[in-house]
Structure 1
Amino acid sequence: MKNERDEQFHRFVAAKRAGLVRTATLLTAGDAHLAEDLVQSALTKLYVAWPAFQRADNPDGYVRRTLVNALTDERRRWWRRRERTMAELPEHAAAEVPGGELSDGLRAALKELPPRMRAALVFRYFYDLDVADTADALGCSEGTVKSQTARALDRLRAVLGTPLNTPLTRSFS
């Protein structure tokens, strides 16, 4: 038998899951499978901390922070560090990736960024969060967000071959 907490959580998941998967897909630079895993981990953590989530001043920020923490936890797993990357993947079916509006070049360039830099760009330019909200989501200072964003944009420009005087952020619109 479901209680009120379960009903509230179910309504939350029904309303927000698609957006969480879209955000996670951006944070993982298009890895739909990892994005699904991150959302599942984040939702599990939210369910456990549901009373704290309901008391949060900024519920959207709480969810973003939980998602970034899930990504950080995933990157720290011992087996993840031992994985070998391959130049060519074996044949597999193409997956429908939410957030498919990214060009392949931009998606590949984002994949080259460290997770924290990628998260700073996603929150600042894809979700148009200000520096303070991005810092809150990442659990860092505003200065760190500014420097991570600037470095990430410089790296993307170098990878994409975009001149430094051309605003790369137009690609994110």
Structure 2
Amino acid sequence: MRPHEIPAWQEGSLPLLDNIDMDNEIECLDMTVTAVDALIRRLPMGALALGETLRQIDRGRDLVKSLLTVCRARTSLSVSEGNITPLRSRILRLGDKLEAQARLALDAVRALPEEKKRTEPFSAWLREAPGMTSPLLTSVSEGIALPLRNLHLHLLSSMKLHVTSPDGRLSTM
């Protein structure tokens, strides 16, 4: 990046920038959430099945983060692109379902015998447990903070900047 250049997403910097790939990945996330839901309904389960459930939840969390990153990139590339908000809302809804399932899975991990809790992936989940959000915080975030954040991002994304370079040239960005 050159001096006085504003960082921006490049068209080819992220995969999934077209609608077909994005829809396929959201469908994959939906299938992951459905699979985890089916596994969670079988609680209590053995350590092997619980470990696989945790891996699926981690996979779903990674997919949520990736898809939200793509949504942010697409918003940066084109503020007027109107189909991002419904996609982002769907991803966040699926992410919330996944987090609710993660709380149930964490309760199952806490119920395991102590020697099992010391093995992976259970020990990693127990280390991360204090950072898990409560349902109340999730609903407040979804109902208040998320719409405000979206409005804030929209307002910032549509600004024009007039920048004077050190050599006196005026640039509009």
Q: Which TM-score applies when normalising by structure 2?
A: 0.27
Q: Which TM-score applies when normalising by structure 1?
A: 0.27
